[in-house]
Amino acid sequence: MVGLFSTEIADTDFWWHLRTGQYIVESHGLPVPDPFAYTTSAPPAYPGEAQVRHFNLTHEWLSQVLMYAVYRVGGFPGIVLMRALLLAALCGLAGWLAARLSGKFYAGIAAACATASVLASFAADRPGVVSFLGVAVFVCLLEGRRGWWALPPLALVWANCHGGFPLGWLVLGAYCGESLIRRSSWRESRRLWLAAALAIAVSGINPNGFGVVSTVLAYRRSPMTANLIEWRPPKLWGDPYGFDILLYAAALVLALSWRRVRPAHWILFAAFAAASLAAFRNTPLVAFLAPVLIAAYFPFRLPAPADLEWAAPVAAAMAVAALAQGRFLQLRVATWTIPAGAADYLLEHHPGGPILNTYEQGGYLIWRLWPAARVFIDGRGLSETVYRDYNQILYNRGSAADAVAGPRQELLNRYGVRVVVMNTMDYVSGSIYPLALALANPAGDEWQLVYDDRQAVVFERGAPAGTAVLSNKLGRLLRHMDNECAAYIENAPDYPLCARTLARYWLSYQVKDEARRMLQLYLAHAPRDEEAQQLLRDLDRAGSNGR
């Protein structure tokens, strides 16, 4: 399983975590006030935002320090292996607990594999994995009825690694509640309640104390948070995938075996299911617990396999096949996700004035540009006002989307933006960022295109004499958009919507050759889109006029 989770570093938030860890180590202090973005002094947009901002800057400090320490020792391969080991340990705990509760070794193997099927989508280098692993460790310690002395020190470490440590309180509460319901012996209940009380008390020793609860409630009031995919509810009733299969199967097994189900298990399943249904980011909770409960309470007897000697060679063959496809042990950075060339350009040419960057590229630019330059926005989501202004600049709602005018012009002037470094589309939705087209509009000469590669473009406002300006900025930008989309799909084929969007864009200007090329690229990865198939057939019948 270590191989399964050792994919290349592709998460855009990883970079600001790494830089924050370095900052804490070198400055011997927390990053408050924020040193990396020049916009975070914006006034709070809603009650509690100042608290949320402080929380976002501080609640993962220990994980960030440890991440930087691993990087210093092992570089990027060390980061990948650390992530893979943590996720594999989580699967291993699920398997161990399933085998213990069911009394069946192979049930444990199956549970570990089921957990891995969901966690494969969470192979990202983020401190959040500490909370999922913390939940698993707490549950296993409480189920094992030994090692309870370890709960308080583990809670202290957890509370400084990630703000999800109240999940530990929930686990402790489930087992304490069970001791009351089942009227356990006073001696055992006393030990449990004492360990739980100490664990909860020491978890308050962190930069935010017990304010994490009110902070999470403030998150739910934030429009910025609501727009993030990880905070949206997961998809249900669509194409089956690991999470919903495990959720439905566990619910069915518990319902069929309801007389045997322990109170702690009812409480944990209800709580983890509710958390997962509220936000996609919480689905690993069900990924850990559901296979355990299915193994423990499965209502039917299945004959145990008498001979599994064939399993080892089959598993080895699958591993070799995966290695051949480049899926395992990718001990590297996914260079196609980062604006490395644009960062090199900015460091070499030192264009003057504040920069504007896209949300998803802010983390890497913090890693590469600070302290020489600070970013406009990044994945930490520190200011609702800045996020609102960023979207207005990006889309210019209420005014011409393809022009630097109206609210967009006003905001660019207010923030003093002199340089824009950006990718040109949102790959998940496939939508184009109109700002890039506006800056490349030939009708305006205020902004010049000074850099372009497959990951990003750089525009400079009133570039000084001697700056190498790229000619035909609109034509070059349009070619860039095609290349950027193709490069992303080449490496992330599950997200081909940008090609469909570009096909429609080219069709709107009757550039049929480009429209056909983008449609073919899209349909190579989304062949069931009947509307796109029909559009391509119409193009083929009508012929092509070219550019």
Give domain limits for the chain.
14-213+232-302, 335-495
User: Which residues, at least 6 apart from 4, have a Cβ–Cβ distance to it below 8 Å?
Assistant: 84, 88, 116, 120, 123, 322, 327, 328
The domain made up of 335-495 has a fold known as: Rossmann fold (3.40.50)
**Listed residue (391, 395, 397, 349) closest to 372, CA to CA:** 349
Q: How high is the pLDDT of residue 464? A: 83
Confidence band for 238, pLDDT divided at 50, 70 and 90: low
pLDDT tens for 165-188 read 999 999 999 999 999 998 877 777
**Which pLDDT belongs to residue 322?**
46
Average pLDDT for the chain: 90
- Residue 119 Cα distances to 89, 356, 455, angstroms: 11, 34, 28
Q: Residue 446: pLDDT above 50?
A: yes
What pLDDT does 320 receive? 43
**For the chain, what percent of residues have pLDDT higher than 70?**
93
Supply the pLDDT for residue 316: 46
Bridge-based pairing state of the strands 447-452 and 457-461: antiparallel
Q: What is the mean pLDDT of residues 493-500?
A: 94
Mean pLDDT of 375-380: 95
Spatial strand order in the sheet of 447-452: 355-357, 419-422, 457-461, 447-452
Distance CA 289, CA 135 (A): 10
Instruction: Report pLDDT for 343.
Output: 97
Residue 371 pLDDT exceeds 50: yes
pLDDT of residue 298: 93
β strands within 345-442, DSSP E:
355-357, 419-422
312: confidence class by pLDDT, cuts 50, 70, 90: very low
How many Å apart are CA 425 and CA 431, to the nearest integer? 6
312 alpha-carbon distance from chain centroid: 34
Average pLDDT over residues 305-327: 48
pLDDT at 93: 97
Residue 535: partners with Cβ closer than 8 Å, 6 or more residues away: 503, 507, 519
Q: Choose between 10 and 219: higher pLDDT.
A: 10
Token digits of residue 72:
């210093």
Query: Do residues 436 and 318 make contact, with C-beta atoms less than 8 angstroms apart?
Result: no
CB 515 within 8 A of CB 506: yes
- Quick one: average pLDDT of 39-61? 90
Quick one: which of 484, 477, 479, 488 has its CA closest to 514? 479
User: DSSP characters for 308-327?
Assistant: -TTHHHHHHHHHHHHHHTT-
Percentage of residues in the chain having pLDDT higher than 90 = 73
Euclidean distance between CA atoms 60 and 206, whole angstroms: 10
What is the β-pairing status of strands 355-357 and 419-422?
parallel
CB within 8 A of 294, min separation 6: which ones?
Answer: 98, 111, 114, 246, 249, 250, 253
Q: CA nearest 33: which of 11, 16, 56, 12? A: 56
Determine whether 452 is exposed, middle or buried from the number of CB atoms within 10 Å of its CB (0-12, 13-18, 19+).
buried
* pTM metric for this prediction: 0.92
* The dihedral sign for the CA sequence 218, 221, 227, 232: positive
Span 77-120, pLDDT tens digits: 999 999 999 999 999 999 999 999 999 999 999 999 999 999 99
Q: What is the dihedral of CA 486, 488, 489, 493, to 10 degrees?
A: 170
Q: Where are the alpha helices (DSSP H) in 428-496?
A: 434-439, 473-491
Tell whether the model's pLDDT for residue 318 goes beyond 60.
no
Task: Pick the closest to residue 2 from 69, 90, 75 (CA basis).
Answer: 90
pLDDT(274) > 50:
yes
What's the one-letter identity of residue 520?
Q
What average pLDDT score do residues 510-518 get? 92
- As given in the structure block, the two tokens for residue 149 are 């002395």
Contacts of 537 (CB under 8 A, 6+ apart): none
The arithmetic mean of pLDDT across residues 528-540, rounded, is 91
From 84, 174, 175, 168, select the one nearest 132 (Cα to Cα).
Answer: 168
Q: Are 520 and 542 in contact (CB under 8 A)?
A: no
More confident residue, 197 or 146: 197
pLDDT at residue 314 greater than cutoff 70:
no
Span 495-510, mean pLDDT? Answer: 93
Q: Can you give the pLDDT at residue 390?
A: 96
pLDDT of 178 reads 93
Residue 39, helix vs strand vs coil: coil
Q: How far apart are CA 475 and CA 473, in angstroms?
A: 6
Q: Which residue, 531, 532, 530, is CA-closest to 516?
A: 532
Distance of alpha carbon 364 from alpha carbon 375, whole angstroms? 10
Any alpha helices (H) in 227-282, and if so which ranges? 242-256, 263-278
Q: Is the distance from CB of 108 to CB of 96 less than 8 angstroms? A: yes
Beta bridge partners of 421: 357, 458
Detail the DSSP E strand segments found in 83-194.
Answer: none
